[in-house]
Amino acid sequence: MSTALSVRNLRLYFSTRKGVVKAVDNASFDLRKGETLAIVGESGCGKSSLARALIRLLPRNVHTYSGEVLLDGVDVMKLSEEMFRRSVRWRKISMVFQGAQNSLNPVLKVGFQVAEPLMIHFGVSKEEALAEAKRYLRLVGIHESFADRYPFELSGGMKQRAVIAMALITHPEIVILDEPTSALDVITQANIINLLKRLQSEMGLSYIFITHDIALTSELADRVAVMYAGEIVEISDAEEFYRRPRHPYAEKLMASVPTLRTDKKLEFIPGTPPSLINPPPGCRFAPRCPYAFERCLRESPPPYEYKTGSFVRCWLYHEGKR
Amino acid sequence: MGEDNVLLRVENLKMWHAMRRGLFGGVVYVRAVDGVTFSLAPGEAVSVVGESGSGKTTLGKTILRLHEPTDGKLIFKGRDITHTPEKELMWFKRETGLVQQDPYGAMPSFMTIYRILEEPLIIHKVGTKEERSEMIFKALEEVRLTPVEDFAFKYPHMLSGGQLQRVAIARALILKPSLVVADEPVSMLDASVRVEILTLMRELQEKRGISFIYITHDLSTTRYFSEWIFIMYAGHIVERARTKALLQNPLHPYTRALLAAIPDPDPENRKRFREVPPGEPPSLVNPPPGCRFAPRCPYATERCRREEPPEFEVEPDHFVKCWLYVGAR
């Protein structure tokens, strides 16, 4: 499988009054064409900041924004904002934002809002864009007559479908899904996941699927990246990850997921994640890790590639203790 | 269940919210809870599971008499409290506690944790100042906010979501209630903290023999924390049973759909589509005349669309409100 996106040493730091927040620190990964890479982590681990760094929608208080993002062999980090807007954002990479179904403009018709990216970014005429919007609404399972309705006339699930149509109308190759179903009921959620699966196989899309919900990632993920305190601590294939997560944090996180079909003893992780302003000097999980030894507290572990394309940032593996 | 072993009896309970509609202000009713019946024994934990708009939150609030029921009966410790005026309900309020979803919203930001926990004691005129102080420190210790001196004089914004939810639990338990309603107590918390809070609640509930109503949309946590599961759909309890029986042998087509929609972490999930019932839950202003799930149900018959099904006890302690089970036992 060829690579859709290569990210190397991506950093995104923010300046705040209390200091520099290292929201994304040294993230590296590849996204293959047609696959889903899930990024899981708890609130504040930097997963949404990573998404924003990829699509370059940044707040004003950026302190550091560096690294490489290779798209078709071009490092798009080197592009000017204007070039990035014209050739990358929405055209190559688009995004479904968290809670987007609730940020539709209440006074504009749904069809117009779905059509808007085409008018703004591609200069398509209104008639053409609206016709295309109807086509995309049909594609996501909404009757085209809804193009002339207002958001309040749609249910939560339908709004989410409309938002997905909006993200696809510009023919992107990569779609970032940031908690695309988090505000929805389980049955509606299953519906949206079915839709995302169908669209991916029909259109050959690559997904970056960001969520805190591990059970849900298994619905889409071909590979899983786990983030903790701004760092990617593990990337594994789905087959490996759901059966045996490698990093102690991933292992404990998995043990905290309640399951419906099997009996298991639920565990939780004592303590809280470190501050991203002054993360601990060694492994960032070490203060909470039951397996931590002296070196973990002192030195930050580099990635250990346990299989081609799969790695874990943990001294246990470097030192052959696992 | 013998009468002496019932803490709370809910009979055909209805809670309709009045809503104005239209230019001339005609009143319509949202039938949030529309005929719910069950009994709760002392020390038992029940999960009420439903999607948003199913009426589960209204049910919890009505049971605590934060709403006055539209119809039906609420009997607590043998006393009918359905329409008892607010000022004669002090004893009942003392016997009950509530843990809400959003701990930040549920705590006054200008009060210290100490003051927040003292408030219910003052309202109910419990103990002297010294006795209250002792109770507060003990309560903090019980929810493991230790060292207690560190936490007692902090303000809510200085605590994490998980810590604050512990304060909410301490507050709900400080009057030693016999019934606690927890409405989505962990849905705003991270996965690894959720289990910690739910485990703590379960421990305290078992230790003190409190009856517990755990309201949630998350069916997968219920198996660990309750003896019973009630499934709500459009204002009705459509199925209720012991936790194991319900999860292993779901009977109502809606319960089955709900279970089928929930993933466990499994790499096989990505290779298949899930079976999902079409449509959405009905409006609670004008619910369909028969079974409320009938419009989406693959097994619906003419009768289902016409007549509301009664509750059938298909197995001992396993009740289902569905015509498929007429004459099943």
For residue B262, the distance in angstroms to the closest alpha carbon of chain A comes to: 7
Are A257 and B265 spatial neighbours (Cβ–Cβ below 8 Å)? yes
Q: Which amino acid would we find at residue A97?
A: F
Looking at the structure, tell me whether residues B235 and B301 fall in a common domain.
yes
Find where tokens 């008499």 sit.
Answer: B65
Does B270 contact A212 at a Cβ distance shorter than 8 Å? no
Q: Do residues B83 and B103 share a domain?
A: no
User: With an 8 Å Cβ cutoff, are B191 and A212 in contact?
Assistant: yes
pLDDT at A304: 97
Q: In what order do the strands lie in the sheet with A310-312?
A: A93-96, A174-178, A206-211, A36-40, A223-228, A231-237, A310-312, A304-307
% residues pLDDT > 90 (chain B): 84
Query: Terminus-to-terminus CA distance in chain A, angstroms?
Result: 30
- In this complex, which of A187, A213, A268 lies closest to B276 when CB atoms are compared? A187
Instruction: List, for residues B24-44, the tens digit of each pLDDT value.
Output: 778 889 999 999 999 999 999
Given an 8 Å threshold on Cβ–Cβ distance, is B261 in contact with A186? yes
| pLDDT value at residue B106 | 86
Q: Using an 8 Å Cβ cutoff, are A130 and A147 in contact?
A: yes
Instruction: Give the number of other CB atoms < 10 A from CB of residue B305.
Output: 14
The residue among B281 and B3 whose pLDDT is bigger is B281
Minimum distance, in Å, between the CA of residue A49 and any CA atom of chain B: 18
Per the domain annotation, does B52 fall within a domain? Answer: no
Task: Calculate how close chain B gets to A121, using CA atoms only, in Å.
Answer: 33
Q: What whole-number percentage of chain A has pLDDT above 70?
A: 100
Residue B53 belongs to a domain? no
ipTM higher than threshold 0.85: yes
Can you tell me whether residue A247 is helix, strand or coil? coil
Residues B153 and B38 in one domain: no
pLDDT of residue B329: 58
DSSP secondary structure, B169-201, as one string: HHHHHTT--SEEEEESTTTTS-HHHHHHHHHHH
pLDDT mean over B71-76: 97
Q: What is the pLDDT at residue B4?
A: 64
Residue B50 lies in a domain: no
pLDDT number for residue B247: 95
Chain A residue numbers with beta carbons less than 8 Å from the beta carbon of B282 are none
Using CB atoms, which residue from A189, A257, A260 is nearest to B247?
A260
**pLDDT digit string, tens, across residues B83-107:** 999 999 999 999 999 999 888 888 9
pLDDT of residue B219: 92
pLDDT for residue B27:
86
Angstrom distance (rounded) from CA B101 to CA B78: 30
Angle at B241 between CA B236 and CA B246, to 5 degrees: 100
Residue boundaries of the structural domains of chain A: 3-92+172-318, 104-171
Q: What is the mean pLDDT of residues B148-167?
A: 93
Quick one: pLDDT at residue B2? 46
**Does B318 map to a domain?**
yes
Residue A266 has its nearest CB partner, among B190, B195, B274, at B195
CATH number for the region A3-92+172-318 comes to 3.40.50.300
Q: 């204007």: which residue's tokens? A: A82
Averaged over B244-268, what is the pLDDT?
95
> Mean pLDDT across the stretch B65-85?
96
Could A268 and B190 be called an inter-chain contact, meaning their C-beta atoms sit closer than 8 Å?
no
Provide, rounded to the nearest whole percent, the portion of chain A with pLDDT above 90. Answer: 87
Mean pLDDT of B197-204: 94
Do residues B71 and B133 share a domain?
no
Label residue A306 by pLDDT band (50, 70, 90). Answer: very high
Average pLDDT, rounded, for chain A: 94
Query: pLDDT tens, A20-32?
Result: 999 999 999 999 9
Would you state the pLDDT for residue B22?
A: 65
Residue B145: is its pLDDT beyond 50?
yes
Instruction: Measure CB to CB from residue B258 to each of A42, A186, A257 and give the nearest one.
Output: A186
Interface touch A259/B273, C-beta < 8 Å: no
- For residues B102, B103, B105, B109, the Cα torsion angle rounded to the nearest 10 degrees is -170
Identify which of A188, A194, A260 has the shortest CB distance to residue B262: A260
Residues 6+ apart with CB under 8 A from B322: B238, B239, B251, B252, B253, B291, B309, B312
When scoring B165, B269, B297 by the number of chain A Cβ atoms within 10 A, the one with the most, hence best to mutate, is B269
Please give the mean pLDDT across all residues of chain B.
93
pLDDT band per the 50, 70, 90 thresholds, residue A1? low
Q: How large is the greatest C-alpha to C-alpha distance in chain B, in angstroms?
A: 67
Structural domain count, chain B: 3
Same domain, B156 and B144: yes
Q: Is B320 helix (H, G, I), strand (E, B) or coil?
A: strand
Beta-carbon separation of B270 and A238 below 8 A: yes
B211 lies in the same domain as B120: yes
Its domain, for residue B79, covers: 1-45+59-87
The DSSP result for A152-188, as a single string, is: GGS-HHHHHHHHHHHHHTT--SEEEEESTTTTS-HHH
- Dist CA B82 CA B76 (whole Å): 9
Closest CA to A159 of A174, A186, A137, A132: A137
Site from B165, B262, B296 to mutate, A interface, most A CB atoms within 10 angstroms: B262
Question: Are B192 and A253 inside 8 Å of each other by CB?
Answer: yes
Instruction: For residue B100, give how far its alpha carbon lies from the nearest alpha carbon of chain A (Å).
Output: 18
Tell me if A256 and B194 make a contact (CB, 8 A cut-off).
Answer: yes
Cα pseudo-dihedral A131, A134, A140, A141, rounded to 10: -150
B21 pLDDT more than 80: no
Which of A155, A238, A254 minimises the CB distance to B280? A155
What's residue B23's pLDDT? 66
Check CB contact under 8 Å for A185 and B52: yes
A232 pLDDT band (50/70/90 cuts)? very high
| Whether B112 and B183 share a structural domain | yes
Which of B36, B69, B87 terminates a domain? The answer is B87
Comparison of pLDDT for B104 and A294, the residue scoring more: A294
Clarify whether residues B191 and B105 are in a common domain: yes
Q: Which of A198, A242, A266 sits opposite B267 (nearest CB)?
A: A242
The tokens of A31 are what? 């996204």
What is the band of B1 on the pLDDT scale with cuts at 50, 70, 90? very low
Q: Are residues B281 and B324 in the same domain?
A: yes
Residues B71 and B176 in one domain: no
**Which amino acid type is present at position B244?**
K
> pLDDT digit string (tens) for A255-278?
999 998 888 889 989 888 999 998
Chain B residue numbers touching A267 (CB-CB < 8 A): 195
Distance CA B233, CA B49 (A): 9
Kindly list the residues from chain A whose CB atom is less than 8 angstroms away from the CB atom of residue B270: 36, 197, 218-222, 238
- One domain for residues B123 and B11: no
Is the same domain home to B198 and B117?
yes
Cβ within 8 Å of residue B124, ≥6 positions away: B90, B93, B94, B175
